Structure 1
């Protein structure tokens, strides 16, 4: 099968490309490199022994997407392209709706016109909002508290509407919790441009000396040590979940599935684990809670096991080990 991977040079997309290629799929990457690095393409080739096909462009260019789908005879799409900073989304809602929502619409229109009706969508657990109960299952009420989360929910609703209008579509909506870690080769990993938004790369940079300290936003939550608790999942486990989801697209439908470990780790848990793995002391400072932050956040992953026969296997130690390996091998990222 030929798989179009939008945003395939990004953090999660690149790991999914590796998983797809190792499984024998032919991968076509469509990326505008706005938040990713062309060097990733060479790294994917080094890991897999094969070069992915690369088409540089933007998913908002419908005619170009149609060309890519037709020219490469794509059978299905994995859709990662989009913007993902919660903080930035509050300042630039127009940009986020344009990229995440309009971009997804143009992609769906291109798929419809070329007859490609199988798609795995990269969504987020932030669509749930403040928990009514924990762990979150797929039936939890949806009330995202950020522009980013609302753009993802808008795309989810769009997919449900496309399927309702034409039940020959096959969609798998995957709601991620907190992807971390890196490929065990150390060749690809999370290398955000500018200041990282996620905890693990900040900790890794602090351990390596690239960053002075880690800011902990709030230590007065109702958790075991007062710091926020999140459901961290190794990015390679996440990639395997996508492979399993792709196989379910042989049958039409519109499934929604959580991808998480089903347990949470606090900020201090992660810092201590990283100190142990890196043998480095990590400086941190406690600041006030940030508006909109939630104390505890973790998944009920039972649907993933039932529908995909998938569960996350890698523990926090493995997440930290692989992240540290990537940091040591790439102290300045992909530059």
Structure 2
């Protein structure tokens, strides 16, 4: 079952492992906790995805938001300091395919590294050869830093992400629009 890092809420420690207390701060996160509890009755694996990105992503996510503003001379974002763990959709698909062999287990699926919103924007500027002004709207995130401990997925499933962030962002940029 696909779940989300939103189940963790504001992390008590970084990186967040699967034993971290579940304390969601959003309705979405609470719905994922409820779905996990229901799914456990069936014995399937639970995969908690961190920030998934890739071609065809909805426009209200961070990367498409940046890309849609590249040609406007400035890129306005809520907060530049928040840090997230980005994982490419191809790596997520690989994890889903492997996880079917591990019923009853729960795995974090991320890259195991955190990047600030500013770092993501600057990587996209580099890839696109554009230099728009980067503007922070200074809207605080309740969750300031979230990064996955993917050790269990590596150890038990033999899974680890293969798509490099810059390579994945380049693919998204080339397919955007």
Q: 2:66 aligns with which of 195, 203, 210?
A: 203
1:213 Cα deviation after fit: 4.1
1:255 Cα deviation after fit: 1.1
Pair 1:122 & 2:24 matched: no
1:180 Cα deviation after fit: 1.2
* Contact 2:5 2:48 (C-alpha < 8 Å) held by counterparts: yes
* Contact 2:46 2:105 (C-alpha < 8 Å) held by counterparts: yes
Gaps of 5+ in 2: none
Inter-partner Cα distance in structure 2 for 1:274 and 1:218: 16
Structure 2 partner of 1:254? 104
CA RMSD of aligned residues (A): 1.7
Q: How does 1:73-222 map to 2 (within 5 A)?
A: 121-160=1-40, 162=41, 169-182=42-55, 189-190=56-57, 192=58, 196-207=59-70, 209=71, 213-219=74-80
Inter-partner Cα distance in structure 2 for 1:181 and 1:138: 24
Inter-partner Cα distance in structure 1 for 2:158 and 2:123: 29
1:296 Cα deviation after fit: 0.9
* Contact 1:273 1:316 (C-alpha < 8 Å) held by counterparts: no
TM-score, normalised with respect to structure 1: 0.50
Inter-partner Cα distance in structure 1 for 2:105 and 2:74: 41
* Contact 2:82 2:144 (C-alpha < 8 Å) held by counterparts: yes
Structure 1 partner of 2:136? 286
1:242 Cα deviation after fit: 0.9
Inter-partner Cα distance in structure 1 for 2:20 and 2:152: 13
1:281 Cα deviation after fit: 1.9
Q: 1:318 aligns with which of 164, 167, 171?
A: 167
Pair 1:303 & 2:143 matched: no
CA-to-partner distance for each residue in 1:129-158, whole Å, 9 max, x for gaps? 111111000000000000011001100011
Inter-partner Cα distance in structure 1 for 2:79 and 2:123: 19
**Secondary structure, aligned partner of 1:296:** coil
For the pair shown, the structure with the greater C-alpha radius of gyration is: 1
* Contact 2:84 2:115 (C-alpha < 8 Å) held by counterparts: yes
**Secondary structure, aligned partner of 2:105:** strand
Inter-partner Cα distance in structure 2 for 1:293 and 1:320: 26
CA-to-partner distance for each residue in 1:82-101, whole Å, 9 max, x for gaps? xxxxxxxxxxxxxxxxxxxx
1:212 Cα deviation after fit: 6.4
* Contact 1:130 1:294 (C-alpha < 8 Å) held by counterparts: yes
TM-score, normalised with respect to structure 2: 0.92
Gaps of 5+ in 1: 1-120, 163-168, 183-188, 220-226
Inter-partner Cα distance in structure 2 for 1:206 and 1:320: 15
Between the two proteins, the alignment pairs up a number of residues equal to 177
**Secondary structure, aligned partner of 2:25:** coil
